[in-house]
Amino acid sequence: MATIPSHNLLLPKPINQSAHSLSLKTHFPHSTLSTFPARTSPAAATRAMSRTDDASISSRLEHESYGITTAEDIRRRDREAKESNSLRDTWRKIQGEDDWAGLMDPMDPVLRSELIRYGEMAQACYDAFDFDPFSRYCGSCRFTRHKLFDSLGIFDSGYEVARYLYATSNINLPNFFSKSRWSKVWSKNANWMGYVAVSDDEATRSRLGRRDIAIAWRGTVTRLEWIADLKDFLKPVSGNGFRCPDPEVKAESGFLDLYTDKDTACNFSKFSAREQVLTEVKRMVERYGDEEDDLSITVTGHSLGGALAVLSAYDVAEMGMNRTRRGKVIPVTAFTYGGPRVGNIRFKERMVELGVKVLRVVNEHDVVTKSPGLFLNESAPHALMKLAGGLPWCYCHVGEKLPLDHQNSPFLKPSVDPSTAHNLEALLHLLDGYHGKGQRFVLSSGRDPALVNKASDFLKDHFMVPPYWRQDANKGMVRNSEGRWIQPDRIRAEDHHAPDIHHLLSQLHYPS
């Protein structure tokens, strides 16, 4: 594949602007590219960005004359490390069995690959979501669940989507929910929030080393206005129906409302997002819990979706959904990207008691990861945090942190606005080039840097990748048989809930 010069040099130089052509990869797990010339099939936009002769000569001279390790040397070491430590054999460590001790500095290539893969599952929620207020289907998913991954060009995901998740938009988060300007819409009060998927037999046995139940939550792309909507007020999770024995375990009220509220008059959100998640996880555990294959539950999300990932991972464990009928404990892990703080110090301690593992991937310049709890948070002395733990604005991050810095990437503009620093595609790019603290930035998987500009203007201008380049052909408009341009009808969004959902809720002793 033709590459940008800095793929191959540790010390990249600006490339000749006349030598550009760009190749955008569309296969999973290295990208979730979703630009569509037609509504029905994904096709990568193709311009090749090739190396200049000067860059090639420079790379060769530096390697031969000065003994500088090239990017290809580092990538080769990564490949060798992955071959000797396959995911099938190490998945428990990758899922946080030892809190990722020794895996982040230097960066373990298997962990990096898995973080990118689960990050792309969260990115799929953005790529599939209809944000267009001029669309009758604004706020829904653009594809049916059976065709979600294929429609996004993710042809080898190894997962099957079991159900879609919805939430009611009646709660006070106006800058999070998307609504259509049409008078007649698919739903007046619901938004698509993500999905629950399960690994298929081939991926389970040949790649993953276990059956994986994955929950992916939609976040907020780059808009940060939703932060201002938060009440910044902690309340006990037990007051929202969580089976928590400690009333001092608290979470931000807006996150709890989004997770637990429902609209009984709406086909899509007559069950809360929480009820949808718990019943689907219960169904999956009952179906696969007696198999010889091990099970894992992995939750992922970016931004506000990261908060929902933490909250739902906690909920699954607190409700005992991670236990098989034989009493075997299923590991629960949350991989979050640019996520905010969710609860207080007792919430963090309760997560530890339950054995829930959380790894937070953050850009150090991202303001969302510093909210809420700007003044009282985990950086304060522990004694002060315990003393102030009962205050309704004292927050604490959970789990382990993998700090990244976009200023270390030779591809990205060093100074950007806060919303750009919050970009998920940029985080996945930073993951791909991260090898440990103080180590040079070298892309390891060949993941295309052009994906960063899919919904941002973050790449340096001399790479000549247009900002905000992802869009549907003709913004989704098609010409009908009469020659008029219209929005085509879409297959009706899936609003059905499994007929056994009431039964499953009753088994959970959950009032529906």
Burial status of residue 126 (CB atoms within 10 A of its CB: 0-12, 13-18, 19 or more) = buried
For residue 250 the two structure tokens come to: 């608290």
Judging by DSSP bridges, how do beta strands 250-252 and 159-168 pair with one another? unpaired
d(C-alpha 345, C-alpha 66), whole Å: 51
- Whole-number CA gyration radius for the chain: 23
**Residue given tokens 């590991």 in the structure block:** 331
Is-catalytic flag, 229?
Answer: no
Q: Are 251 and 237 in contact (CB under 8 A)?
A: yes
Residue of 141, 126, 145, 157 lying closest to 28 (CA atoms): 157
369 sits in which H/E element? none
Burial status of residue 70 (CB atoms within 10 A of its CB: 0-12, 13-18, 19 or more) = middle
d(C-alpha 106, C-alpha 291), whole Å: 36
Q: Which of 366, 406, 409, 429 is catalytic?
A: 366
Q: Which of 140, 199, 303, 444 is catalytic?
A: 303
Q: Which region holds residue 140: left if phi is over 0, alpha if psi is between -120 and 50, else beta? A: beta
Residue of 121, 112, 110 lying closest to 149 (CA atoms): 121
Burial status of residue 109 (CB atoms within 10 A of its CB: 0-12, 13-18, 19 or more) = buried
Asked if omega into 403 is within 30° of 0 (cis), the reply is no
Q: Which region holds residue 303: left if phi is over 0, alpha if psi is between -120 and 50, else beta? A: left
DSSP 396-419: B--SEEEEE-GGG-TTB-SS--HH
Tally of residues, the chain: 512
For residue 214, which amino acid is it?
A
Is-catalytic flag, 6?
Answer: no
Is-catalytic flag, 366?
Answer: yes
d(C-alpha 503, C-alpha 512), whole Å: 10
d(C-alpha 470, C-alpha 299), whole Å: 26
For residue 492 the two structure tokens come to: 């009706």
Q: Which of 20, 422, 429, 435 is catalytic?
A: 422
Residue of 130, 158, 160 lying closest to 143 (CA atoms): 130
Q: Are 192 and 129 in contact (CB under 8 A)?
A: yes
| C-alpha 376 chain-centroid distance | 27
Just list the catalytic residues.
Answer: 303, 366, 422
